[in-house]
Amino acid sequence: MITELATRRPSADACLTERETLQHRPAGTILFNEGEQPRGIYLIHSGTIELLMRARNGDWKRMRTASSGDILGLESVVSLRANDATARAITSCDLGFIERESFLRVLDESPAIWFSVLRLLSQGVNASYDSLRNVAQARA
């Protein structure tokens, strides 16, 4: 998925990697919390991260897991909305972090990246529909 953002242009890939800050996070690290304003996007280079939402009863519910090649925080950064979930590292992770303002500048400077962003966001919407369909079928 990371390569989708870079499209087929090496210059777009360079725009992202120039702004990326590499980080190593141990298992258990919270990258961001549900309800917080997004600070940026995370490019997962290695490791596994779970996305959690708090249920009405206060328990955490795993919505999905993300791994190498996935991007976290894209939806919130693009929509300028608070994070919809909490992201917690299941394993130690190597990540690239791009601050929100820096990423939005990349989009302004490289409009070709927008189509890839749109595709990734659409895939996320479709995955959500699949999850809802599975829940509805399980209850039927």
CA dihedral 124, 99, 76, 113 (to 10 degrees): -50
Kindly state the tokens that stand for 10: 């090496």
Could you tell me which of 4, 10, 41, 40 has the C-alpha nearest to residue 116? 4
Options 3.30.70.1230, 3.90.1150.200, 2.60.120.10, 3.40.47.10; which CATH number does 2-139 get? 2.60.120.10
CA dihedral 127, 133, 134, 136 (to 10 degrees): 150
pLDDT, averaged in runs of 10, over the chain (140 residues): 46 72 97 97 96 92 92 93 96 97 89 79 74 75
pTM listed for this prediction: 0.81
Q: Is the dihedral of CA 57, 58, 64, 65 positive or negative?
A: negative
